[in-house]
Amino acid sequence: MPRHLNMATRQGPDLVTGGAPAAREQHWQTLIAMLPRLWPQGRADLKARVVFAMVALLGAKAITVYVPFLYKEAVDRLTPDTVAAAALIVPVMLIVAYGVARIMMVALAQLRDAVFARVGQNAVRQLAVETFRHLHALSLRFHQERRTGGLSRVIERGTKGIDFLLRFSLFNIVPTIIELVLVCIILAYAFDIRYSLVTAGTVIFYMAFTFAVTEWRTRIRREMNDLDTEANTKAVDSLLNYETVKYFGNEEHEARRFDRSMEGYERAAIKTTTSLSLLNTGQTLIFSIGLTALMLMAAQGIADGVLTVGAFVMVNAYLIQLYQPLNLLGTVYREIRQALIDMETMFSLMQVPAEIRDKPGAPALHIEGGAIEFDNVSFFYDSDRRILDGVSFHVPAGRTLAIVGPSGAGKSTIARIIFRFYDISGGAVRIDGQDLRDVRQASLRAAIGMVPQDTVLFNDTIRYNIRYGRPDASDAEVEEAARLAQIGPFIDSLPNGYETRVGERGLKLSGGEKQRVAIARTILKNPPILLLDEATSALDTHTEREIQTALRQISENRTTLIIAHRLSTVVDADEIVVLDHGRVVERGRHEALLALGGAYASMWNRQRESDAARERAGEEASDSSPPGALSRAEAEIDPGFA
């Protein structure tokens, strides 16, 4: 397996980073990757919002650093030596100005957040959609190896991380740094350089301690995330396999597996909480020492007659004003680090290359008749596991070819190659003379209708699932397709008809009903090429005959490739190809292959004997059934729809 695919299927820190230098480099790469989303091309409205938000940010910070001056002047004017009845109006106006300034400080900050919200949410949406599209562009190989629960949690955490990073890095970290620089300049100008040095030293020591402890806590948080992903993956996997769990009575086994994952998560969560107590205590100690030192210096200045009480209050106000964003800094830094980790995981996922790509400037597939040709095709997943070995056949336009063979012969792989889910290892596959590797994938798949062996439906209505074949189809066209697929009467018998929801993966429908919905949506797609992969394998004999009649009708004038295990479904094919261990061992029409007495004839005889044995067993069971027992066909209908 290619290394990048192996990397993509793993979750956790090994997906993101190794050591600290690599982590820092990836953090910068992540931040750089975010910048275009904050200045989106062709969106002048969003760019204007960014500019306005930055202006509001700077305005709020300018007012913030000026507020303590108003506070100082008001205190000085209210001291007993200076206040007088006639002059009381001046401190009153200063107090009012102080109040207005604080209101403006908060109002500008809130206006900034409100204006920037559309920019941030647009970036989140664009990245989420980009990731979603990329996942659909990845190969079938990737999706066969992925862990659905872990993958969905990676995307969820990544999009949340983007939102947090945009809001707090721009509007908390950056403004705090700006405010610190301004405060140091003001203290040096209004007092002397010692005040700036103590303030800067306190903040730098505070930040260094915060970052060091947060780095340690981040490693614990990463471990907690890994265990959370593991637990979520096990939970989703268990719930998706609900029936299998019930079949084997393994509810307690599943609960124990989940509990083991949650036990590790519990230990990591306890470490996170206790380490937070250490962080908060250390932060308070550092800041209190710095604040006390500044207050002592200011008090000494008052005693020496060089400072006023208002100056003492102003120094205190600046430090207290810095404390709030600094106190939040530890939490914000930790969350930003976590957001970066979550985003890096998502960006790493987006860096997984699509295994199957269109060639630059590839044209659309042009269908003239839909002739399919396999020319000496070889395919293997790994070099020591060859699936197809020199397979060649030709399906003329409008004709039907069936591919049969034992399990593992490579039949379903042929269907996936025609859809170009995989690129072949050797040879060529052509439709109307056009190599599939030379045309756009979207046009190729639009030309082929597929009824798979294992039909999985969306957790939506029957109408939605049939209309999926052609989303712009009318209700009448949907219902006509259902009629041709022999499922119309069944749908009409349901209380909610076509609006009946089928459940996750279509679990509320029986296997035969799901297969007929799949046939209906392929009929609705109306493609020039049909590909039927064990299309009637889940149906009883009576329904199979009905659907075979419908399939024969819709396959008229269409190139049809049938992949079958039950040979009774392919007796009318124009040609039958017999595969064994990835090679074509026989080919011809049904009668000719029987007369040959080879592999096909042997398979035919075994299936006839098996069918006869089942019929005898069915007759015996019918004779012994109590009055009123359901027939086999009746028993297929899900009781939930009764």
Q: Whole-prediction pTM value?
A: 0.59
**Residue-range definition of the domain harbouring residue 236:** 3-351
Same domain, 222 and 276: yes
- Assess if residue 432 is contained within a domain: yes
Same domain, 102 and 208: yes
For residues 302 and 107, give the distance between their C-alpha atoms in angstroms, rounded to a whole number: 35
Q: Which residues contact 203 (CB under 8 A, 6 or more apart)?
A: 180, 290, 322, 326
Positive/negative CA dihedral, 416, 420, 423, 428 = positive
Same domain, 335 and 382: no
Same domain, 47 and 165: yes
Q: Which of 301, 319, 351 is the last residue of a domain?
A: 351
- Assess if residue 481 is contained within a domain: no
For residues 471 and 451, give the distance between their C-alpha atoms in angstroms, rounded to a whole number: 17
Same domain, 253 and 381: no
pLDDT above 70 for 9? no
Same domain, 413 and 329: no
Same domain, 435 and 402: yes
- Assess if residue 491 is contained within a domain: no
CATH of the domain at 577: 3.40.50.300
CATH of the domain at 58: 1.20.1560.10
Same domain, 265 and 382: no
Using CA atoms, how far residue 401 sits from 24, 178, 204, 569, in Å, is 58, 73, 76, 12
| DSSP assignment letter at 421 | S
Q: What's the structural domain count of the chain?
A: 2
Which among 597, 158, 148, 552 is positioned nearest to 338, based on CA atoms? Answer: 158
For residues 512 and 185, give the distance between their C-alpha atoms in angstroms, rounded to a whole number: 78
Exposed e or buried b per residue across 335-366, where buried means at least 16 C-beta atoms within 10 angstroms of its C-beta: bbbbbbbbbbbbbbbbebeebbebeeeeeebe
* pLDDT tens, residue by residue, 240-259: 788 788 877 888 888 888 88
Same domain, 419 and 543: yes
Q: Which helix (H) or strand (E) holds 388?
A: strand 385-395
- Assess if residue 100 is contained within a domain: yes
Which among 417, 409, 418, 437 is positioned nearest to 371, based on CA atoms? Answer: 418
| DSSP assignment letter at 631 | P
- Assess if residue 480 is contained within a domain: no
* pLDDT tens, residue by residue, 117-165: 787 778 777 777 777 777 766 756 666 555 555 666 677 777 777 777 7
* pLDDT tens, residue by residue, 372-412: 999 999 988 766 677 888 899 999 998 999 999 887 788 88
- Assess if residue 244 is contained within a domain: yes
Task: Tell me what pLDDT residue 547 has.
Answer: 67
- Assess if residue 236 is contained within a domain: yes
Task: Tell me what pLDDT residue 3 has.
Answer: 34
Positive/negative CA dihedral, 149, 150, 154, 157 = positive
Same domain, 247 and 137: yes
Q: Which residues contact 386 (CB under 8 A, 6 or more apart)?
A: 378, 379, 380, 582
pLDDT above 70 for 288? yes
User: Is residue 200 a contact partner of residue 180, using CB atoms and an 8 Å limit?
Assistant: yes
Beta-sheet pairing, 575-580 with 400-404: parallel
pLDDT above 70 for 453? yes
Same domain, 205 and 286: yes
For residues 171 and 114, give the distance between their C-alpha atoms in angstroms, rounded to a whole number: 12
pLDDT above 70 for 614? no
For residues 467 and 472, give the distance between their C-alpha atoms in angstroms, rounded to a whole number: 8
Q: Which residues contact 314 (CB under 8 A, 6 or more apart)?
A: 68, 69, 71, 72, 190
- Assess if residue 252 is contained within a domain: yes
Using CA atoms, how far residue 469 sits from 358, 398, 447, 522, in Å, is 23, 21, 12, 6
Q: How confident is the model at residue 97 (pLDDT cuts 50, 70, 90)?
A: confident
The SS3 of residue 181 is: helix
CA angle 125, 129, 134 (to 5 degrees): 150
Same domain, 329 and 382: no
